[in-house]
């Protein structure tokens, strides 16, 4: 994110929460005060905070109408309250039939709240993810139906205000599978002195078969299944500190809203069969507003296009969510008659494009809180002119420049957050419609702005996708639901905003100041971020990654993805990218890193290596600017520090000519990943040892 945009965001949040609050938050962090969650409507176990451990099937109810047989049922009285007294509503959460596939498992263990205790426990961490499968691992997560161990890493929340407010966070190293139930088991946990931490009294009674108080008796059957699953996996019951289960939301729960509006919108064009891979029906309506020359090698075309709108009100700064015709929890968005969005677009056309040498066409995805105008960035222009590609971009509604004020307000009052997620999904639909206008021969190709001598200068047989930063993140989601392109490059990408990306990003500071100022109880911050992700999955690749490549969604083709990642990225964590790579089945370029990056030698644990080039599957390639420019990122859930000796490499990859060659070779029919690094780790243009 540019310094100018950061300054604008700081100015905005100062207006929202006040200068003194901003200064205090950045200086010291917030502690528990007004807005702390009351001990109301808690689970019966006497846990504190009430919602922990989370996620938890305790917070579900049976529902035969859902694919999982469950419906999320969060305790309304235990939901966090902000400093204005506004409690987070459970309504949107209770639409779900399970929890996020990228859930951070959050639990508070008194005594396991400091670095010494964590080390004494021998818990699996980012630096040693292989420990997740050790026979005596103190933290394990098991798929209840298969008995398989889940790849995980754990950490203590580095943002907590005190040990008493420090939670243990357990992250999936590869996303949990949709619809599956998982059992979490904690055992042989130790305090800073090395002493085993005793189990909570309520759990010891359940574990040891002792007489239960009335509030716990209803859990006896559930825990019988939990203990049986652990026994089958070889986890002894006798030394458990605590165990519980949770179920991941189904494919339908995660994706049905976006798929529904996609299918309905394309049907309005006359394409009722997205599964056949054929472009049928009309092009989206569009208007050309201007054409001109950006450089001697490039001209641009600006205009607008029309998209069916499924929000209550439409527009770049609208502040309403989806329209529903029913109050049922499984209802899908519907279009209010006549609701049509007008979205902007901009395309750049290289001078090399001609009727005899037509340019490839590709969507481009812009960065955080930006706009379609990012298509004029030097690196995008270079990619276009060097490789004869026409790029077109629109705004990512929900996370575009016009959304900045609303998004800041939504983290101040999280009851507004579902609106931002709904707008993100409409923004994806807008992007898909722009792609259809590019691909349909009656679309852009039929307009003089995209012609020379009356003939098209664009090749409309194949569409591709390229995006950076947020464009790489949201590009993953767009790829998972895209009917019109099969190959995508996700630059400096990742997934799982709430549980991994935001606390490890320098971009989060302005929004974090608002969020933590509004919900100041730091013991609740990890679960608040987890709650955010439960809804963000609808507009985050985390909810779609399982279906992005070789396991596609209904009426959607399979896709092949190239991820290009920056080592030590300050804005989009490379650790989130590694989780995404595992989840989509990508292979990694090896050697991934030089020996002087030995601390992160296990960054791609569990990701298969590419053994032969050209490689025709999905891949991840990490690019390093070298220790002379970029330091190792924190292993803790903290952002890197921007210093004179630790530069942010976020834009280095896209500005590296060799990386653009790799992208170009991939983004073509029959394309493949090629080794542009001569069998060595990949270095950016400015590599400094």
- 3-class secondary-structure state, position 495: coil
Give the tens place of pLDDT for each residue, 519-537.
999 989 999 999 999 999 9
**SS3 assignment for 584-646:** HCCEECCCCCCHHHHHHCCCCCCCCECCCCCECCCEEEEEECCCCCCCCCCCCCCCCCCECCE
Please say whether the dihedral angle defined by the alpha carbons of residues 374, 672, 584 and 603, taken in this order, is positive or negative: negative
Q: Which two tokens mark 142?
A: 């098991």
Q: Which two tokens mark 687?
A: 């590599």
Give the tens place of pLDDT for each residue, 531-575.
999 999 999 999 999 999 999 999 999 999 999 999 999 999 999
What confidence category does residue 128 fall into, taking pLDDT thresholds of 50, 70 and 90?
Answer: very high
Residues of the chain above pLDDT 90, percent? 90
148 φψ region: left (φ > 0), alpha (ψ -120 to 50), beta (else) = beta
Burial 539-561 (b: 16+ CB within 10 A, else e): bbbbbbbbbbbeebbebbeebbb
Supply the DSSP symbol for 501: I
Backbone φ and ψ for 367, nearest 5 degrees, come out as -85, -175
Residues of the chain above pLDDT 70, percent? 93
Residue 193 CA to residue 173 CA, distance in Å, equals 29
Who's near 95: CB < 8 A, 6+ residues apart?
Answer: 72, 253, 329, 330
Give the tens place of pLDDT for each residue, 626-647.
999 999 999 999 999 999 999 9
- Paired sense of beta strands 168-172 and 181-187, if any: unpaired
Give the tens place of pLDDT for each residue, 457-471.
999 999 999 999 999
DSSP track, 302-320:
EEEEEEE--BSS-STT---
**Of 318, 518, 576, 512, whose CA–CA distance to 422 is shortest?**
318
Q: For the ranges 220-224, 253-257, 349-353, 490-494, which has the lowest average pLDDT?
A: 220-224
- Quick one: how far is CA 269 from the chain centroid? 30
**SS3 assignment for 366-378:** CCCCECHHHHHCH
The predicted structure's pLDDT at residue 42:
60
Residue 336 CA to residue 354 CA, distance in Å, equals 42
Residues 494, 473 contacting (CB under 8 angstroms): yes
The predicted structure's pLDDT at residue 213:
83
Q: Which whole number is the average pLDDT over 7-34?
A: 40
Strands in 105-107's sheet, in edge-to-edge order, are 105-107, 168-172, 152-156
Residue 11 has pLDDT above 80, yes or no: no
Residue 31 has pLDDT above 60, yes or no: no
Residues 531, 75 contacting (CB under 8 angstroms): no
What radius of gyration, in Å, describes the C-alpha atoms of the chain? 25
3-state helix, strand, coil in the chain (%, to 5): 35, 20, 45
Please say whether the dihedral angle defined by the alpha carbons of residues 427, 639, 494 and 530, taken in this order, is positive or negative: negative
525 vs 120, 501, 574, 613, CA distance in Å?
25, 14, 22, 45
CA dihedral angle for residue 445, residue 448, residue 454, residue 460, rounded to 10 degrees: -10
The predicted structure's pLDDT at residue 219:
87
- 3-class secondary-structure state, position 240: strand
Residues 409, 376 contacting (CB under 8 angstroms): no
The predicted structure's pLDDT at residue 36:
38
Q: For the ranges 38-52, 70-84, 235-249, 344-358, which has the lowest average pLDDT?
A: 38-52
Give the tens place of pLDDT for each residue, 54-102.
999 999 999 999 999 999 999 999 999 999 999 999 999 999 999 999 9
Helices 417-439 and 525-536: angle between axes, nearest 10 degrees: 40
Name the one residue in this structure whose structure tokens are 């919602």. Answer: 51
The predicted structure's pLDDT at residue 46:
56
Residue 26 has pLDDT above 70, yes or no: no
The predicted structure's pLDDT at residue 49:
72
Mean predicted lDDT score pLDDT of the chain? 93
Residue 579 CA to residue 58 CA, distance in Å, equals 27
Residue 298 CA to residue 256 CA, distance in Å, equals 40
Name the one residue in this structure whose structure tokens are 């599956």. Answer: 180
2 φψ region: left (φ > 0), alpha (ψ -120 to 50), beta (else) = beta
Name the one residue in this structure whose structure tokens are 């309403």. Answer: 320
Give the tens place of pLDDT for each residue, 273-297.
999 999 999 999 999 999 999 999 9
CA angle, corner 655, sides to 649 and 658, nearest 5?
110
**SS3 assignment for 319-330:** CCCECECCCCCC
The predicted structure's pLDDT at residue 593:
98
Q: Which whole number is the average pLDDT over 351-366?
A: 98
Q: Which two tokens mark 498?
A: 């709430």
Give the tens place of pLDDT for each residue, 572-625.
999 999 999 999 999 999 999 999 999 999 999 999 999 999 999 999 999 999
Residue 194 CA to residue 551 CA, distance in Å, equals 45
**Of 663, 21, 583, whose CA–CA distance to 248 is shortest?**
583
Backbone φ and ψ for 223, nearest 5 degrees, come out as -75, -25
The predicted structure's pLDDT at residue 217:
85
Residues 322, 346 contacting (CB under 8 angstroms): no
Give the tens place of pLDDT for each residue, 291-339.
999 999 999 999 999 999 999 999 888 899 999 999 999 999 999 999 9
Q: Which whole number is the average pLDDT over 373-391?
A: 98
Give the tens place of pLDDT for each residue, 665-681.
999 999 999 999 999 99
User: 505: number of CA atoms within 13 Å, CB side?
Assistant: 27
Name the one residue in this structure whose structure tokens are 């170009």. Answer: 664
């Amino acid at each position: 994110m540019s310094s100018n945009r950061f300054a604008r965001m700081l100015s905005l949040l100062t207006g929202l929460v006040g200068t003194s609050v901003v200064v205090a938050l950045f200086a010291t962090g917030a502690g528990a005060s007004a807005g702390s969650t009351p001990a109301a409507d808690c689970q019966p176990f006497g846990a504190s905070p009430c919602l922990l451990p989370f996620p938890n099937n305790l917070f579900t109810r049976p529902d035969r109408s859902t694919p999982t047989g469950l419906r999320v049922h969060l305790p309304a009285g235990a939901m966090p309250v902000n400093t204005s007294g506004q409690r987070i509503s459970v309504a949107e959460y209770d639409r779900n039939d399970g929890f996020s596939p990228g859930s951070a498992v959050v639990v508070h263990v008194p005594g396991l709240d400091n670095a010494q205790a964590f080390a004494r426990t021998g818990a699996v961490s980012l630096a040693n993810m292989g420990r997740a499968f050790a026979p005596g691992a103190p933290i394990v997560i098991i798929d209840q139906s298969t008995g398989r161990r889940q790849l995980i890493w754990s950490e203590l929340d580095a943002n907590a205000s005190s040990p008493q407010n420090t939670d243990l966070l357990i992250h999936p190293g590869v996303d949990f599978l949709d619809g599956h139930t998982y059992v979490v088991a904690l055992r042989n946990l130790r305090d800073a002195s090395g002493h085993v931490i005793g189990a909570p009294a309520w759990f010891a009674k359940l574990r040891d078969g002792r007489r239960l108080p009335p509030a716990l008796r209803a859990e006896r059957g559930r825990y019988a299944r939990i203990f049986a699953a652990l026994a089958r996996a070889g986890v002894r019951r006798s030394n458990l500190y605590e165990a519980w289960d949770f179920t991941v939301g189904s494919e339908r729960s995660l994706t049905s809203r976006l798929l529904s509006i996609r299918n309905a919108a394309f049907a309005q064009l006359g394409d009722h069969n997205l599964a056949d891979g054929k472009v049928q029906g009309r092009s989206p309506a569009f208007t050309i507003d201007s054409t001109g020359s950006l450089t001697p090698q490039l001209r641009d075309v600006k205009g607008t296009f029309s998209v069916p709108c499924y929000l209550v009100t439409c527009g770049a700064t609208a502040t309403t969510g989806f329209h529903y015709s029913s109050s049922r929890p499984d209802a899908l968005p519907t279009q209010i008659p006549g609701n049509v969005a007008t979205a902007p677009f901009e395309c750049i056309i290289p001078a090399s494009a001609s009727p005899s040498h037509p340019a490839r066409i590709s969507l481009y995805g812009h960065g955080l809180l930006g706009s379609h105008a990012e298509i004029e960035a030097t690196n995008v222009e270079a990619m276009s002119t060097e490789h004869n590609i026409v790029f077109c971009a629109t705004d990512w509604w929900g996370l575009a420049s016009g959304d900045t004020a609303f998004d800041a307000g939504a983290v101040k009052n999280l009851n507004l957050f579902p609106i931002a997620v709904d707008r993100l999904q409409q923004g994806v639909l807008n992007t898909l419609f722009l792609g259809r206008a590019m691909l349909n021969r009656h679309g852009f190709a039929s307009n003089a702005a995209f012609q020379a001598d009356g003939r098209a200068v664009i090749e409309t047989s194949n569409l591709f996708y390229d995006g950076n930063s947020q464009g790489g993140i949201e590009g993953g989601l767009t790829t998972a639901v895209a009917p019109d392109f099969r190959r995508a490059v996700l630059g400096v990408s990742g997934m799982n905003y709430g549980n991994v990306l935001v606390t490890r990003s320098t971009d989060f500071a302005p929004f974090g100041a608002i969020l933590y100022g509004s919900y100041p109880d730091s013991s609740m911050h990890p679960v608040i971020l987890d709650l955010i992700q439960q809804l963000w999955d609808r507009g985050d690749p985390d909810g779609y990654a399982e279906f992005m490549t070789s396991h596609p969604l209904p009426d959607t083709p399979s896709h092949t993805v190239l991820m290009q990642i920056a080592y030590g990225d300050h804005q989009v964590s490379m650790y989130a990218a590694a989780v995404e790579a595992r989840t989509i089945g990508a292979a990694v370029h090896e050697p991934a890193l030089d020996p002087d990056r030995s601390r992160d030698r296990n960054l791609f644990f569990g990701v298969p290596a590419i053994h032969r080039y050209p490689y025709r599957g999905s891949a991840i390639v990490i690019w390093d600017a070298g220790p002379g420019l970029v330091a190792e990122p924190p292993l803790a859930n903290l952002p890197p520090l921007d210093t004179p000796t630790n530069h942010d490499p976020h834009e280095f990859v896209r500005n590296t000519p060799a990386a653009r060659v790799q992208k170009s070779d991939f983004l073509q029919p029959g394309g493949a990943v090629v080794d542009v690094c001569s069998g060595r780790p990949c270095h950016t243009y400015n590599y400094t040892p």
